[in-house]
């Protein structure tokens, strides 16, 4: 006699089937939640280049040179920087000599009358002998003009024979750069 065996799924198959059912039910429940928290959007931007317009008026500076200095003598001259830019600007000026003569370079911001050298001496800022480097920030948006005075002097106590017939060149470099 043939015996008829009844098919019974094993435990691993039952566990896999139960897990598949749980996953299908979970995915169905989660599909509504994910749609609630998604979003989309677009954006755009435009910019234009700001104008950069800085000018230097060195006419007064150029007419004062060449000059013949003696120990104890000095020469004062000025130059103007105008910022017509739409951006803030940092102006840097460097005044250098070759170092052949013991010249002292001093500067001040602002304008003084030719007769008020005492005021000029009070406000002047000393730097190392033979060179002067200074910078100044200039605001944007309006036409701003700044005047700078420079005094080059030969100290009276530095009058040795080694300076006889000495020639000196003075170089002024002005650089303007945009402040970011």
Query: What are 23-32's pLDDT values in tens digits?
Result: 988 887 777 6
The tens digit of pLDDT for each residue in 63-72 reads 666 677 888 8
Distance CA(38)–CA(36), nearest Å, equals 6
Per the CB < 8 A criterion, the answer to whether 95 and 142 are in contact is no
CA angle 163, 71, 79 (to 5 degrees): 105
The pTM score is 0.61
Dihedral sign for Cα atoms in the order 151, 155, 159, 162: negative
Distance CA(78)–CA(62), nearest Å, equals 9
pLDDT above 80 for 113: no
Distance CA(100)–CA(95), nearest Å, equals 15
């Amino acid at each position: 006699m043939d015996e008829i065996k009844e098919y019974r799924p094993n435990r691993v198959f039952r566990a896999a089937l139960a897990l598949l059912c749980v996953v299908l039910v979970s995915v169905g429940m989660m599909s509504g939640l994910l749609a609630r928290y998604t979003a989309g959007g677009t954006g755009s931007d435009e910019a234009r280049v700001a104008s950069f317009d800085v000018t230097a008026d060195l006419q007064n500076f150029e007419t004062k040179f060449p000059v013949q200095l003696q120990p104890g003598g000095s020469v004062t001259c000025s130059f103007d920087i105008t910022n017509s830019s739409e951006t803030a600007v940092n102006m840097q000026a460097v005044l250098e000599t070759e170092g052949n003569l013991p010249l002292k370079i001093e500067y001040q911001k602002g304008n003084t009358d030719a007769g008020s050298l005492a005021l000029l001496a009070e406000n002047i800022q000393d730097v190392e002998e033979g060179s002067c480097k200074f910078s100044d920030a200039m605001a944007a948006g309006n036409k701003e003009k700044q005047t700078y005075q420079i005094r080059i002097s030969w100290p009276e106590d530095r009058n040795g024979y080694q300076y006889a017939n000495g020639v000196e060149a003075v170089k002024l470099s002005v650089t303007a750069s945009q402040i970011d």
